[in-house]
Chains A and B, each alone.
Chain A
Amino acid sequence: MAVADTSKLSWMTTRVDAALGWARKFSIFQYPFVTACCGMEYMATATSHYDMDRFGAGFPRFSPRQADVLFVVGTISHKMAPVLRRVYDQMAEPKWVVAFGVCTCTGGFYNNYATVQGIDTIMPVDVYIPGCPPRPENVLDGLIKLQEKIGQGQQATEPPGAAIRPAHLLASHRVASHL
């Protein structure tokens, strides 16, 4: 198959959002919100053996103001939930959220008084990476899916958690608003 030689072209056309998406998906500045054992696999993914940097996601920023993607890695308790929500609210648009591990996806096996049953009950989630903890290959697969989503300009906006859970688990009761 012949490939056009573009080196002699002096100009090219594209759509602005497509160009932006292409640029964004290879410069993922991530905020790792690491609370539990999933952090080990997250670190393993960042090491040279798996090399997250191949996907342009090798540079974690520990300030939500400078981050594009929020990696929620590990169990989130109800006490921690307002902190996580505040970090999410502090991130500048556009922003994406990755739920890393089953605890962030659904609460995992922590079905108890202390644990948030999935962070999608409190904030939008773009990519779910299940596993306890997920292997680095699984993480990279999720990262590629996130890149596709970023490249297409898609972004989750609403917490889907309440909508996709059984109605009998939902109640209007809420202790207090912390924001």
Chain B
Amino acid sequence: MTAPLLSALQQRFAPYVRSLQEYRGQLTAVIQREGLVAIAQHLKTDPALAFDFLMDLTAVDYLKFGKTQRSAPTLKTPSPLPYYMTPKPVAETWNRQVQHDEQRFDVVYHFFSSHYHHRLRLRVPLAAADPSVPTLTSLWAGANWFEREVYDMFGITFTGHPDLRRLLMYPEFEGHPLRKDYPIDRRQPLLGPNV
């Protein structure tokens, strides 16, 4: 059932592999950050894998994931809410095997091999108290700006990164706007009123 690529990964890096998933041909490995550099090195240099292209590097904030989502009542729908707006728990669509607050963030890597045309996704869960992972800029130079963007949007630091500055927001910006606890109506204009 499991793809040979994943089972090879499991065999070689068993202590670091938290779980493996295969969904419609998409391979995902959830790993611990202690093994990230070793696994990434192996993915790139092993001739049978040859993941020479880091397609994407992003992150997810699971702060409110799986918790009750409530639609805000509006003037047109005062309480009691209609059935389609009543609060209901959001089912976890896949098993992360981690708790919410202990493992708040996932850093997600998408690799592609231009030789074999196969793909792999790595997810690295991170604790809310210490959101940092080692950088991959020494392996894929393209990771540089990806990691800066993730740092900018989520506040996840990449240890060893040569130039970890904000990429999209301006230096005066406070906080990290894609964190789920960033107030949705908070504005930080450089000019003009705070609207």
Contact = CB atoms under 8 A, between A and B. Distances in A.
B74 to A, nearest CB: 15
A170 B187 CA distance: 10
Interface residues of A, number: 28
Contact of B188 (A121, A170, A175, A178): A175
A170 B194 contact: yes
B192 A175 contact: no
A175 B193 contact: no
B179 to A, nearest CB: 11
Contacts of A162: 192-193, 195
Given A78-B188, A113-B182, A114-B177, A161 B193 contact: yes
B140 interface: no
A174 interface: yes
Contacts of B186: 113
Interface residues of B, number: 19
A112 B191 CA distance: 16
A171 B188 CA distance: 11
A79 interface: yes
B103 to A, nearest CB: 25
A175 B190 contact: yes
A140 interface: no
B195 A169 contact: yes
Contacts of A173: 194
B186 to A, nearest CB: 7
A173 B194 CA distance: 6
Contacts of B195: 117-118, 121, 161-162, 165, 169-170
Nearest to A166: B195
Contact of B189 (A78, A159, A165): A78
A174 B193 CA distance: 7
A82 B191 contact: yes
Contact of B193 (A85, A121, A179): A121
A31 B193 CA distance: 25
Nearest to A78: B189
Interface in A53-107: 78-79, 81-82, 85
Contacts of A175: 172-174, 188-190
A176 B193 contact: no
Contacts of A82: 190-191
Given A113-B182, A176-B172, A79 B190 contact: yes
Nearest to B169: A79
Contacts of B187: 78, 113, 117
A126 to B, nearest CB: 18
B82 to A, nearest CB: 24
B182 to A, nearest CB: 7
B191 to A, nearest CB: 5
22 contacts: A78-B187, A79-B168, A79-B170, A81-B192, A82-B190, A112-B184, A113-B182, A113-B186, A113-B188, A117-B187, A121-B195, A122-B192, A161-B192, A162-B195, A165-B193, A170-B195, A171-B194, A174-B194, A175-B173, A177-B190, A178-B191, A179-B191
Interface of A: 78-79, 81-82, 85, 112-114, 116-118, 121-122, 159, 161-162, 165, 169-179
Closest 10 CB pairs of A and B: A121-B192, A122-B192, A171-B194, A113-B177, A175-B172, A162-B193, A169-B195, A117-B195, A122-B191, A81-B191
